[in-house]
A and B are shown apart, each in its own frame.
Chain A
Amino acid sequence: MISVNSLTRRYGPVVAVDDVTFDAKPGLVTGFLGPNGAGKSTTMRILCGLTPATSGTATVLGRPYAALPNPGRHVGVLLDASDQHAGRTGREVLALSALVMGVDRRRVDEVIDVVGLTERESHRRVRNYSLGMRQRLGLAHALLGDPEVLVLDEPANGLDPAGIRWMRSLLRGFADDGGTVLLSSHLLNEIELVADEIVVIGNGRIVASGTKAELLRGAGTTVRSTDDAALEGALRAEGIASTRAPGGGLVAEAEPAGVGAAAARHGIVLVELRQADGRGLEDMFLELTASTAREEVAA
């Protein structure tokens, strides 16, 4: 369980994290979505006690991260795959942390094995690792203490498609077992595929949050008729906003039932009527972040 309450972090005049509130619940994968520089990493660093908050609170498993006894045994953290000493071997990085956490050395072999690093790769220095291998090492590190909570910042970065798929099922399994997962990404597709709940951040502020289904609802209705111009007028008369879809037809900002009823009242023949799907989270994401991005330019 992760609880973030009214979290704010200022850097001089810049507000990197602005009154951010959300929860990540056990048994679910919570996706933390936002463009680069939106405040995701800062929020996650505050969560892990690495960056002090200007105001607000963040708790993991009911207490501030810094108050967790031996936190590595409760929370698995991957904030940056490049945060390892380039001169150490992957295995040594894990062995050091295992020593700190007080877990058996055998655990190191187990996590190396489960993330799919080979024995030989584990003996190479991190300097010679590809980004994908570093991410695997980072995930191995996060799993080392058999935690209840995972906090992962852009874990899919640098992984090949097979690796991304692998990570997704790993996180799914972790959450299905009752674990809490908070993972960030600037890639919609990644979050859409793995997250149960989504928190969207833009310019430091939460711009949307909810279950994936909730966020996808409200995408509008795709409607096509024998006379789209007449339909457009009819919808306007009923107070329903609509836009022309690129491939013909309209996208109306209402539920399909409402659009159908409006068409019926005006005697318009519909040839297609369904929940808009092509939009996906991507349009929502772009739409939500575009306004904040524009503000940035204007400022």
Chain B
Amino acid sequence: MSAPVGTQPTSATAPGATGNPAHPVTRPGSQVSLPRIDGARPTAGIPFGRLALVELRKQLDTRAGRWLLVTIGLVVAGIVTIMLFVGGGAHGYEGYFGATALPLMLLVPIVGILAATAEWSQRTGLTTFALEPRRHRVVLAKVVASTVAAVGCLVAALALAAVANLVAVQGRGADSPWTLSAGMLWGVALVLVLSLAQGVGFGLSLLNTPAAIVGYLVLPTVWSIVTGLVEQMRSVGQWLDIGAATEPLLEGAAMSARDWAQVGTSSLVWVVLPLAIGFWRVRRSEVK
């Protein structure tokens, strides 16, 4: 994957003392010279996997990113711990896992928002897009990397819910069954990915972290409140209210064709449209 580099161990080697081609770029006042990179310059573009890996690493290598993920873990752990003390802890594995869904929906998309907006708010876009001028690939890499992070959060939630249920059964002797319906697991996973994509979409279209977070958290809610209040909009609202449309998925409830259609239409407005605007904006906008 990586191009071979000069065979010399370090650049601290005096030029000429080795077989390495001497590079004229030297640290003045010292014997430090910069070796050349062996081999021809690349004629192929950057593989997508490498871009995705870099985007994933960028989510973890800052305190903000790490703390966000730690916070998600702590919130999930806190919720299942509180549940242990409520109702004798007999909520079932599904009950514990289901309770983690809401905080995940609220917090995980922020991972996506930060990934999308950091290039502008932290101005790293100058470097990122100079190294990969085909910006849509960077955006796709961000989507893939945030999805990986979201799946990681989901796995963590499954594990923490399992620990809680284990404590409930073993420690408190609660009658808490281990069943988890596939419908619920996939439902939560699907809604999580949708919310994340929504976060990335809002981040990309607004290119501003606070605006994107507020927009992501507030706009769909405002929409459902408004359409709930205004009689004439209620029927339209059902089709465009992503919160209401995805609710049965989170509960693992049976989905009718009409339910799926409402998930589709509301996702079109709240997920696909922001992503499309975001892609367009990132491709067109000036990186400063």
**Contacts from A to B (Cβ < 8 Å):** 45, 48-52, 65-66, 68-74, 77, 79-80, 82-88, 92-93, 96-97, 99-104, 106-107, 109-111, 113-116, 141, 143, 145-146, 148, 165-166, 169-170, 173-174, 176-177
A114 contacts B33, C-beta separation under 8 Å:
yes
Q: Report which of B1, B27, B35 forms a contact with A102, defined as CB distance below 8 A.
A: B1
Contact A107 B5 (CB under 8 A): yes
Q: Verify if B281 is at the interface (C-beta below 8 Å from A).
A: no
Looking at the assembled complex, report how far the CB atom of B272 sits from the nearest CB atom of chain A, in whole angstroms. Answer: 26
Residues of A within 8 A of B2 (CB): 102-104
In the complex, what's the smallest C-beta–C-beta distance from A1 to chain B, in angstroms?
A: 14
Q: Are A51 and B130 in contact (CB under 8 A)?
A: no
Closest beta carbon of chain B to A152's beta carbon, Å:
12
Q: Which residues on B sit within 8 Å (CB–CB) of A107?
A: 5, 37
Q: Please indicate the chain A residues that have their CB under 8 angstroms from the CB of B36 in the complex.
A: 146
Residues of B within 8 A of A111 (CB): 34
Task: Report the separation of the CA atoms of residues A81 and B288 in the bound assembly, to the nearest whole angstrom.
Answer: 12
Shortest C-beta distance, B5 to chain A (Å), equals: 4
When the two chains form the complex, which single residue of A51, A65, A66, A74 contacts B41, counting CB atoms closer than 8 Å?
Answer: A74
Contact B287 A110, beta carbon cutoff 8 Å: no
Bound-complex Cα distance A68 to B131 (A): 10
Contact A72 B131 (CB under 8 A): yes
Contact of A50 among B25, B30, B64, B286 (CB under 8 A): B286
Q: Which residue of B lies closest to A48 (CB)?
A: B130
Q: How far does the alpha carbon of A173 sit from the alpha carbon of B266 in the complex, in Å? A: 60
A84 to B125 CA separation, bound complex (whole angstroms):
9
Given contacts A83-B126, A99-B57, A166-B28, contact A71 B133 (CB under 8 A): yes
B131-177 residues with Cβ-Cβ distance < 8 A to A are 131-134
Contact B24 A173 (CB under 8 A): yes
Q: Is B181 an interface residue (CB 8 A)?
A: no
B190 at the interface (CB under 8 A from A): no
Q: Considering the complex, which residues of chain B in the window 237-255 have a beta carbon less than 8 Å from any beta carbon of chain A?
A: none
Q: A66-B133, A70-B44, A102-B46 are in contact. Are A45 and B122 (CB under 8 A)?
A: no
Chain A residues with CB below 8 A from B43, complex form: 69
Q: Is the CB of B61 within 8 A of A109?
A: no
B286 with A51: CB separation less than 8 A? yes
A96, A148, A166 pick with most chain B CB within 10 angstroms = A96
* B residues whose Cβ falls under 8 Å from a Cβ of A: 1-5, 10-12, 23-30, 32-37, 41-46, 50-51, 53-54, 57-58, 61-64, 118, 122-127, 129-134, 284, 286-288
Interface pairs (11), CB distance under 8 Å: A45-B286, A66-B134, A69-B44, A70-B42, A103-B37, A111-B34, A113-B11, A114-B11, A114-B26, A145-B37, A169-B26
- Cβ 8 A contact of A100, one of B41, B50, B122, B134: B50
Q: Which of A79, A84, A100, A111 has the most CB of B within 10 A?
A: A100
**Beta-carbon contact of B10 and A110 below 8 Å:** yes
What is the CB-to-nearest-CB distance from B32 to chain A, in angstroms, rounded to a whole number? 6
| Chain B hits for A50, CB < 8 A | 125-126, 129-130, 286-288
Within the complex, which residue of B23, B32, B34, B127 is in contact with A83, where a contact is CB–CB below 8 Å?
Answer: B127
Is there contact, CB below 8 Å, between A176 and B286?
Answer: no
CA distance A169 to B32 in the complex (A): 13
Q: Which of A68, A113, A116, A148: most chain B CB closer than 10 A?
A: A113
Q: Please report the C-alpha to C-alpha distance between residue A101 and residue B64 in the assembled complex, in whole angstroms.
A: 25
- Give me 17 other A-B pairs in contact (C-beta within 8 A), A48-B130, A102-B3 excluded: A51-B288, A66-B133, A69-B45, A71-B130, A80-B123, A84-B123, A87-B63, A96-B61, A103-B37, A104-B4, A106-B10, A113-B27, A114-B25, A116-B30, A170-B28, A173-B24, A173-B25
Contacts of B127 in A (CB 8 A): 77, 83-84, 93, 97, 141
Residues of B within 8 A of A87 (CB): 62-64, 122
- Asked if B62 and A88 make an inter-chain contact with CB atoms under 8 angstroms apart, the answer reads yes
Q: Distance (Å) between the CB of A165 and the closest chain B CB? A: 7
A92 in contact with B133 (CB, 8 Å): no
Known contacts A85-B118, A173-B26, A176-B24; A106 and B5 CB within 8 A of each other: yes
- Which one of B50, B124, B287 lies within 8 Å of A85 (CB-CB)? B124
Q: Which residue in B28, B131, B287 is a CB contact (below 8 Å) of A101?
A: B131
User: Nearest Cβ in chain A — how far from B54, in angstroms?
Assistant: 5
Which residue of chain B lies nearest to A72 when distances are taken between CB atoms in the complex?
A: B131
Q: How far is the CB of B139 from chain A (nearest CB, A)?
A: 15
Interfacial chain A residues near B46, Cβ < 8 Å: 70, 100-102
Q: Are B54 and A100 in contact (CB under 8 A)?
A: yes
Residues of A within 8 A of B53 (CB): 99
Known: A102-B3, A107-B37. A177 touches B23 (CB 8 A): yes
Residues of A within 8 A of B35 (CB): 110
Once A87-B62, A100-B132, A104-B2 are accepted as A-B contacts, the answer to whether A166 and B27 lie under 8 Å apart by CB is yes
Indicate if the CB atoms of B123 and A82 lie closer than 8 Å. yes
Residues of B within 8 A of A45 (CB): 286-288
Least Cβ–Cβ distance between B131 and chain A, in angstroms? 5
Closest CB-CB distance, B26 to chain A, in whole Å?
Answer: 6
Contacts of A169 in B (CB 8 A): 26, 28
Residue of chain B at shortest CB distance from A75:
B130
Q: A87-B64, A88-B61, A173-B25 are in contact. Are A143 and B34 (CB under 8 A)?
A: yes
Instruction: Decide if A83 touches B133 in the complex (CB within 8 Å).
Output: no
CA distance A81 to B183 in the complex (A): 51
Min distance, Cβ B261 to any Cβ of chain A, angstroms: 40
